[in-house]
Amino acid sequence: MIRKGGLFILLFGLMFLLMGCQKNEYERRTDDSNTLYVGAVAASFPQSFMPWLSRDGIAPTVASMLYNSLFSFDDETGTFEPLLAKAWYYVCEDGLPIVTDDHEIDYDRLEDVYGSDDKDYLPVKLILHEGMTWSDGTPITANDVYYTFDVAANNALSNHAGALAWTSDLQHSYSNGVLRKQGVFTYDHGALEQGYAIAEDERDTVVYLHVNKVLGAVTTLFTSILILPEHIWEPIVTPENQLNSKNPTAETLKQYEDPVGSGPYTLDTEQSNAQVIVLRRRDAYHIRHDDGGALYQVETIKIILYQEINVAIYALLKGHIDILDSSISSNYLTLFDEEEDIFLSNAPGTFTATLVLNLNPVDSECNAQRDLLSDVRFRKAIALAVDQTELIMSVLNGAGSPASSGLMDEKLTDFYNPEADTLSCDRVERLLEANQILDSIVPEKDSEGYRLIDGERIRYEIFGHPGEQEVIAFLQIQLQKIGIEVEFKLKGSSPEKTYFYNSRFDMTIQGTVFSLSNVDIMYRAHFVTKGTSSNYGRLADEELTEAIEEMRLTLNLNRKYELIKDIQPMIASHYYKIPLYTSNVLSVARTDRYRGYSVEQGVTLFNTETLQNIERVEVNS
């Protein structure tokens, strides 16, 4: 971690290095067009722009600009915002919408109609926008939605485990490549046979889905799956040439690299290369601004690769780029204090860093040290020793906020339960209680004050990435106060398969984010499912599991909200994923060519709201 004192020296040195190898003129400085220059920090740019293949670096950002899902979701309002689809609702057995007079979902009636056990699914009607086209001019139809969901549920064609997870609550299933149960219906795919009459003039815009009786089932289907063009992929995807192919054919590779999408931008393949990705605004994009003009205000986006954050920051300061799409360390905050034409965003974060304890390892990975972690009293002592305020001030320079032990953002007032905030008492009192607990479990200490078990010092490895070394260094100091020694252990490139799924770890740093849009899936992944899931420490608690399952399956919305609140203190009581902090997202942009950047929770300034509201600064203004 670079300290502030050495930061200016480093950037000063970089300035001379770059000045020696760069020309005096830079493209951005002389470019009067409506082109936004964006810096991205990564080892390399993605080779494929097929949206399901890569979730790393800039790939998801680019994919979301080239393609659309059906809706986006606003966690604060709990509403779906139209993208490819403009409306949706549950329907009764007669195909009529289950809505109130205000056209909102009628949850009381939904429970009355489908609350009994005689139906095992909820029917959902989707209505797409009319007149949409793919970037090659081909109309977007309901059959594209059918094809996307169908291939996502068929691993024999997709070879994509993530797609199976996305469609897990869709009652459309395959076995060995054979459709066993249909759960997606269009005019051309069995709607009439299922009892859904679709008029001829609606054949391209209406889709029916059968989803599990989980109120959150539609969220992943609507917001996580980027819809694919059937006319591109259906002719070339086969069990021998799967969608996610390690050895793609020439035609498949062409589609990976030169995608046909539905989003607001297209990829300029002729101008893009290993150092720059060029995106062009698509005038035919179906969603328009309120004034009838283009929804996105930037005509061209040039994303430029930097392999080192300090070089990217220098490029921004010297005016080579307009904006960074990489969050920056809080160590850089003071760097921009005296700079002109710089806008610094310090946005609240959404991801909470937690210290995960391996409380229930498989038999082959058990030992005396890890056995202590199975004792909830021992875990509570560790949790009491963690001082979030100190971590935030020391590691984040104040650019963060404490997190509840229930791991729900307190800004989500409809779901946040303050009773789960169990670690907010006085620091001195917490350390006193922690040591009293440990004195009753492992009272023996060595000459340096570290606790012993079977004559050996209690010592744990905390797995982390290089950027988390400073956090773990401060945890060393904090846990030393209760006689527990910890040390940094590098996670490596695939820690889940190497360490976490098979219980070969003591502790690790894990990011979590829970909200109404994801609890149906993520609560199970973090606290119920064992094996290849986010439940690294293999927590097993029958009462918590039952509460999570009831929350998932209830059709009573008020009851669902109550259960989300009830679950948070249960999570807190396990002291399993100990909250460290929720870090802010720090990002920076120049204001000499553009203004109107939008500060949005959890993202950098390079976000959808920015692109829809940004204004070009006139040269002579």
Contact, 530 vs 541, CB < 8 A?
Answer: no
Q: What is the pLDDT of residue 333?
A: 79
Q: What is the mean pLDDT of residues 273-300?
A: 95
In this predicted model, what pLDDT tens digit does every residue of 357-382 receive, in sequence order? 999 999 999 999 999 999 999 999 99
Confidence of residue 619 (pLDDT cuts 50, 70, 90): low
Q: What is the mean pLDDT of residues 169-187?
A: 96
If phi over 0 gives left and psi between -120 and 50 gives alpha, with beta otherwise, what is residue 597?
beta
CA atoms 432, 436, 441, 447: torsion sign: positive
> Which residues are CB-contacts of 36 (< 8 A; sequence separation ≥ 6)?
298, 300, 301, 302, 322, 323, 594, 611, 614
The gap between the terminal CA atoms of the chain, to the nearest Å, is: 41
| pLDDT exceeds 60 at position 21 | no
Q: Lowest mean pLDDT of 17-26, 316-325, 571-580, name the range.
A: 17-26
Tokens for 568, please give them: 């948070």
Confidence of residue 620 (pLDDT cuts 50, 70, 90): low
Tokens 């974060």 sit on residue: 349
Give CA–CA dist 616/621, Å, rounded.
11
Domain spans in the chain, listed from the N-terminal domain onward: 4-41+265-345+586-616, 68-233, 352-583
> Which residues are CB-contacts of 30 (< 8 A; sequence separation ≥ 6)?
none
| pLDDT exceeds 50 at position 10 | no
Answer CATH for 4-41+265-345+586-616 from 3.40.50.2000, 3.40.190.10, 3.40.47.10, 3.80.10.10: 3.40.190.10
pTM comes to 0.87
Tokens for 78, please give them: 């709990």
Give CA–CA dist 13/24, Å, rounded.
18
| pLDDT exceeds 70 at position 11 | no
Most confident of 137-151, 324-338, 339-353, 412-426: 137-151
Task: Report the number of secondary-structure helices (H) and strands (E) in the chain.
Answer: 22, 25
Q: Lowest mean pLDDT of 51-60, 184-193, 356-365, 432-441, name the range.
A: 51-60
Give CA–CA dist 371/381, Å, rounded.
15
Give CA–CA dist 233/241, Å, rounded.
11
Looking at the domain 352-583, which fold is it?
Dipeptide-binding Protein; domain 3 (3.10.105)
Q: What is the pLDDT of residue 5?
A: 41
Helix axes 4-21, 309-317, angle to 10 degrees: 70
Confidence of residue 54 (pLDDT cuts 50, 70, 90): low
**Which one, of 163, 166, 161, 142, lies nearest residue 151 by Cα?**
163
Give CA–CA dist 203/272, Å, rounded.
38
Q: What is the pLDDT of residue 339?
A: 87
Alpha carbon of residue 446 to chain centroid:
44
Give CA–CA dist 233/151, Å, rounded.
10
Query: Comparing 138 with 256, which gets the higher pLDDT?
Result: 138
Give CA–CA dist 284/290, Å, rounded.
16
CATH class of the domain whose range is 68-233: alpha beta
| pLDDT exceeds 50 at position 589 | yes
